[in-house]
Amino acid sequence: MATYSLTINGKQQQVEATEDMPLLWVLRDLLDMKGTKFGCGQALCGACTVLLGDSAVRSCTLPISAVGEDSVTTIEGLSENGDHPLQKAWIEHIVPQCGYCQTGQIMNAAALLNSNPKPSEEEIEQAMAGNLCRCGTYNRIKEAILTAAK
């Protein structure tokens, strides 16, 4: 085991883990941060999406040893009070049904808006295509992102 120093949601964290331990399990099991969800374990569904720097990454397959000096932002760090424009828009558009995929959806949308503050509908669809929602709330997700971009 090695000791890793990580910046997570703006705070320095020290963890002991094997170099191949996925970031998802570091967050959930070692740091007790349960907002990031386990979905498929193969980086296919997007439920585990977090930001590494400003980019969306799938934490279920990203080994802790690959995080390096980049900061990690989870859903818990997006806004202390749940008042990030995306979170407000998600509520306004009643996006979640079961809600399981929503933290990954929001974090992927945050990465999109970081890189493209005024995306078109087509750009939103392309950027969000890798995040699956078994409830099919894709149209509400798109509308929420458009609202947050205003």
Please state, for a pLDDT cut of 90, what percent of the chain lies above it: 95
| pLDDT score, position 80 | 84
State pLDDT tens for residues 94-144.
Answer: 998 888 999 999 999 999 999 999 999 999 999 999 999 999 999 999 999
Give residue 99's pLDDT: 87
End-to-end CA distance of the chain: 46
Which among 130, 19, 25 is positioned nearest to 141, based on CA atoms?
Answer: 130
Neighbouring residues of 121: CB distance < 8 A, sequence distance ≥ 6: 142, 146
Where does residue 33 fall: left (phi above 0), alpha (psi -120 to 50 degrees), or beta otherwise? Answer: beta
Mean pLDDT computed over 78-107: 93
Domains 2-77 and 85-148 share a fold: no
Contact indicator for 60, 24 with CB cutoff of 8 Å: yes
Q: What's the rounded mean pLDDT across residues 7-20?
A: 96
Domain positions in the chain: 2-77, 85-148
Please report the beta strands in 71-110, taking only residues with DSSP state E, as ranges in sequence order: 72-73
Name the CATH superfamily, with its identifier, for domain 2-77.
Beta-grasp domain (3.10.20.30)
- Counting every residue, how long is the chain? 150
Q: Where are the beta strands (DSSP E) in 44-138?
A: 49-52, 55-58, 72-73
Nearest to 123 by CA among 103, 105, 142, 102: 142
Q: In terms of CATH architecture, what is 85-148?
A: Orthogonal Bundle (1.10)
Are the CB atoms for 48 and 59 separated by under 8 Å? yes
